[in-house]
Structure formats: structure tokens, C-alpha cells
């Protein structure tokens, strides 16, 4: 997600403030027939079509000391001679509207293949630049007012950045995933009610990068959305408790590593914003970003709220016993994930510029809380599940990461190929 561009204190040539973290929950690691099964796979020749809408918003960030503040730092602006004109303080707010299409297919009883296709319906960004006057200017007899500053900038060909809306029906990075539930081959694990699975996933570079000449803009790549890395592996274990609990409670642990691959970005040459976006002459026509990798763990508690009645229908092949073995009517889960974020590396013709950007993308961590629920009508004879989820990285403090939230609703339609 590209934001309002930041320049050096005494240099009108700008340096880019590159994509922040906007978690829209695009990962294929969790979808299943339950509220959020970490180890679920589909039966052989079965499929699950999942269509969901995600609304995500972002308005702040956690700094290097774990304090919540503005998404972007204040921008000091100086006269060419050196006196402080004033300080621009962005209070940026970002909104994403995304539709996510997912399809899973059971290659075998313990092996499923999945594809996720995110379609960004619209992105809205409001920079909300606030002005704090600087030094008294001798030729004015006073400090610059906000109007003074933007009139001066306009005389230099620089328009005032306003709200931006874009990414209308733009494809994001398509995600492919493969999950193997290896405990199907371990009898002892099955006897103990333990399930384990390995999920491998990767993102295809089908998303769109932000226009480098726009001061306020956003892209649709995995780097922009920061939902996951370009390549990832998850090792998950789940334990379902029987006895008195009758299988109504499942505890899960997910260990993961997500890597970002180096990507090439075009530089800005001030064609539309000569004062705020003109770093190409010393950076080069393009530069590379190798995003900091993610590594961490997630704990999940999943419970059955209402098992519900069972009816023999075409969904269960006319069998009441099969209907009773279908997913409960109403389940819910709570997941807490903590991820360490590595240093992001920039590569261009200017080592000084690279260091300036890397200072903004230092190592840190983020804590993600996800609450989700599934209403499954399979036991009642309808091949339909309704899902809802809330995801937050703003509720629990992090470090050097953006604080975003999202809400999603969706439907799942399972079926079988004969």
C-alpha cells in the first residue's frame, strides 16, 4: 500500500513510503468445513466452493516501542534556503473492499488442493493532512499558514493530495495451496483424537502494483495486502476431546513460516507530483524490495455451540447415520496468532535511499486475533454453510507493524464429483 510520500528534511525530492500492512485474511491455510479447522481436508472427489466479502480498514500503526500512533510520521517541510515552513501530519485512513473466491478439491482422503482468487472491488484512501506552522518567514512577516504553503507548492507545479479511490474490480495475487493430513497414516494419533497436517501455499504475481506517480495510492499485490507471504508452509496439530465433551471442543496449534520474494518496483520521476515524488533520478528507473519474512505460531480454540438435529437427505445419501456424522449446525472458533517480522531490504542505485526506506521497515512483530463462526445446514439436508469472521491486529499491541481490522461474511457450497 503506497502512502503519502516522505522526503528528506531539506530536500524536495521525495522518498516513497511503501506498502503497509492491511490484513484481509486471504490465506488458504484455514478454510475448512468447520469454523476454522487447521487440519481439515476434503474427501476424495469432493469440492468446497467458498465465496466471501471482506471489508478491511487501517488507520494507525504500532511503532518501535509498541505504541499506537499515526499510520505515517509527520513530514517537515523546509524553504530551499533552510527555514522550516511547517509540518504536515498525515492522519491517513485506508479502506479495502474485497471479494474472495476459494475452491478446494479433495485429491485423496488426506490430500486437498485449493485456489484462492481475491478481487479488490474498491480501495479508498483519505490522507487528511494537518498543518503546523513553522518558522517566521522574513518576506511574509509571519509563519506559513496552511493556505500559504499549498499556494507556494502549487506555484511549483505540486497539487495538494486529496482523497483517492481506485482498484475497482482489480485482481489480487492468486493463491495456490496443498494440504496433507499426515496423521491419517498414524493409527496411534487417530486413536488419541489428534490430527496433524502440513500446508504449502504460494502466491502468483497477478496483483497490480500502485501507480508510482500517485502520492496517495494502493496496490493489490500480496505485499500491499500483507495477508501472507509469497511462499509459506504451515505445520498444524489439533486435538478433539471426546468423553464428556463428546467431540465438542478442539484445540489447535499452527506453526508457520512465510517468505516474501524480491519484487521490482518502478520509480517516480515527478510527472504529476514534482515536489513530493521525484526520487527516480538518483534511485534509478526501478528498485527492488525483499519484504521481511514472517514466522510465528497460532493457538486456536474451536467449540460446538449447537450440534443440531440430523435429517436423512440427498446430502447424506438418504442415510440418517451419515447425516449425524456431518458437521454441527453451529460452531465458533477463536484464534490468536503471533508473527515475528524480519527486516525488509531495499536495493537501488542509492545506498543512502535504501537505508532510509529500511529504517521504516525494521523488524517487529504483530498479534492477530480472529473470531469466526460457521452455520452449517448440511445436517438439515441443505448443501450450504454461512460464515462470518472478525480479524484484528489493532486490539493487541505489536511492534513496527500496521494496525488493521477486517470483517467478513461468506457462503460455502460443498459437493462431490462422481
Grid cell for residue 88: 504536515
Question: Could you tell me the pLDDT band of residue 193, with boundaries at 50, 70 and 90?
Answer: confident
Which phi and psi angles does 159 have, rounded to 5°? -75, 160
Residue 142 lies in a domain: no
Report the domain count for the chain.
1
- Residue 343's pLDDT band, with cuts at 50, 70 and 90, is very high
172 in any annotated domain: yes
Question: In this structure, is residue 65 part of a structural domain?
Answer: no
- pLDDT confidence tier of residue 260, bands split at 50, 70 and 90: very high
Listed range (274-278, 341-345, 379-383) with the worst mean pLDDT:
274-278
Residue 262 lies in a domain: yes
Within 10 angstroms of residue 9's Cβ, the number of other Cβ atoms is 11
What does the pLDDT read at residue 234?
98
Q: Is 199 a member of any domain?
A: yes
Three-state SS sequence of 309-330: CCCCCHHHCCCHHHHHCCCCCE
Q: What is the CATH number of the domain that holds 337?
A: 2.40.160.40
CA–CA distance, 126 with 374 (Å, rounded to integer): 34
Of 399, 403, 402, give the one whose Cα is nearest residue 63: 399
pLDDT tens digits, 63-109: 999 999 888 778 888 888 789 999 988 889 999 999 999 999 999 99
For residue 9, is pLDDT > 60? no
For the cut 60, the answer to whether the pLDDT of residue 12 exceeds it is no
Instruction: Flag whether 147 is in a domain.
Output: no
Q: Domain limits at 402?
A: 4-56+91-125+165-416
Identify whether 283 is part of a domain: yes
Q: Decide: helix, strand or coil at residue 148.
A: helix
CA separation for the pair 61, 294 (Å, rounded)? 18
* Residue 418's pLDDT band (cuts 50, 70, 90): low
Mean pLDDT computed over 176-191: 94
- The residue-averaged pLDDT of 368-379 equals 96
For residues 225-244, give the mean pLDDT.
90
- Does residue 135 lie in a domain region? no
Q: What is the pTM of this model?
A: 0.88
- Give residue-wise pLDDT tens across range 298-321: 999 999 999 999 999 988 889 999
pLDDT beyond 70 at 6 = no
- Look at residue 81 in the predicted model and tell me its pLDDT: 75
Q: What is the pLDDT of residue 244?
A: 85
Amino acid at each position: 500500500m503506497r502512502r503519502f510520500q516522505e522526503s528528506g528534511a531539506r530536500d524536495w525530492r521525495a522518498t516513497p513510503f511503501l506498502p503497509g500492512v492491511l490484513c484481509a485474511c486471504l490465506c488458504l491455510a484455514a478454510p475448512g468445513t468447520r469454523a476454522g479447522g487447521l487440519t481439515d481436508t476434503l474427501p476424495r472427489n469432493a469440492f468446497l466452493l467458498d465465496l466471501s466479502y471482506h471489508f478491511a480498514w487501517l488507520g494507525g500503526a504500532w511503532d518501535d516501542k509498541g505504541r499506537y500512533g499515526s499510520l505515517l510520521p509527520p513530514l517537515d517541510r523546509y524553504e530551499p534556503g533552510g527555514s522550516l515552513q511547517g509540518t504536515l501530519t498525515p492522519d491517513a485512513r485506508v479502506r479495502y473492499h474485497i471479494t474472495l473466491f476459494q475452491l478446494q478439491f479433495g485429491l485423496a482422503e488426506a490430500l486437498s488442493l485449493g485456489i484462492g482468487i481475491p478481487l479488490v472491488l474498491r480501495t479508498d484512501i483519505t490522507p487528511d493532512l494537518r498543518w503546523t506552522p513553522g518558522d517566521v518567514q522574513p518576506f511574509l512577516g509571519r509563519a506559513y499558514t496552511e493556505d500559504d504553503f499549498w499556494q507556494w507548492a502549487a506555484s511549483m507545479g505540486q497539487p495538494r493530495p486529496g482523497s483517492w479511490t481506485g482498484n475497482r474490480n482489480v485482481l489480487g495475487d492468486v493463491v495456490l495451496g496443498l494440504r496433507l493430513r499426515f496423521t491419517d497414516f498414524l493409527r496411534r494419533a487417530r486413536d488419541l483424537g489428534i490430527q496433524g497436517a502440513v500446508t504449502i501455499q504460494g502466491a502468483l504475481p497477478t496483483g497490480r502494483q500502485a501507480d508510482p506517480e500517485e502520492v496517495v495510492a494502493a496496490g493489490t499485490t500480496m505485499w500491499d495486502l500483507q495477508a501472507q507471504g509469497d511462499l509459506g508452509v504451515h505445520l498444524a496439530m489439533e486435538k478433539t476431546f471426546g468423553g464428556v465433551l463428546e467431540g465438542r471442543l478442539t484445540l489447535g496449534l499452527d506453526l508457520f513460516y512465510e517468505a516474501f520474494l524480491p519484487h521490482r518496483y518502478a520509480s517516480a520521476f515527478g510527472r504529476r507530483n514534482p515536489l513530493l515524488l521525484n526520487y527516480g533520478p538518483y534511485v534509478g528507473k526501478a528498485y527492488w524490495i525483499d519484504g521481511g519474512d514472517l514466522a510465528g505460531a497460532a493457538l486456536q480454540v474451536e467449540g460446538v455451540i449447537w450440534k443440531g438435529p440430523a435429517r436423512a437427505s440427498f446430502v447424506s445419501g438418504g442415510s440418517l447415520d451419515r447425516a449425524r456424522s456431518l458437521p454441527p449446525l453451529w460452531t465458533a472458533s477463536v484464534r490468536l496468532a503471533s508473527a515475528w517480522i524480519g527486516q525488509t531490504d531495499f536495493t537501488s542505485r542509492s545506498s543512502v535511499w535504501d537505508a532510509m526506506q529500511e529504517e521504516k521497515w525494521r523488524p517487529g512483530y504483530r498479534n492477530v486475533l480472529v473470531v469466526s463462526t460457521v452455520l452449517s445446514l448440511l445436517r438439515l439436508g441443505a448443501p450450504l454453510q454461512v460464515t462470518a469472521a472478525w480479524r484484528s491486529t489493532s486490539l493487541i499491541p505489536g511492534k513496527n507493524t500496521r494496525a488493521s481490522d477486517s470483517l467478513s461474511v461468506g457462503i460455502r457450497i460443498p459437493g462431490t464429483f462422481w
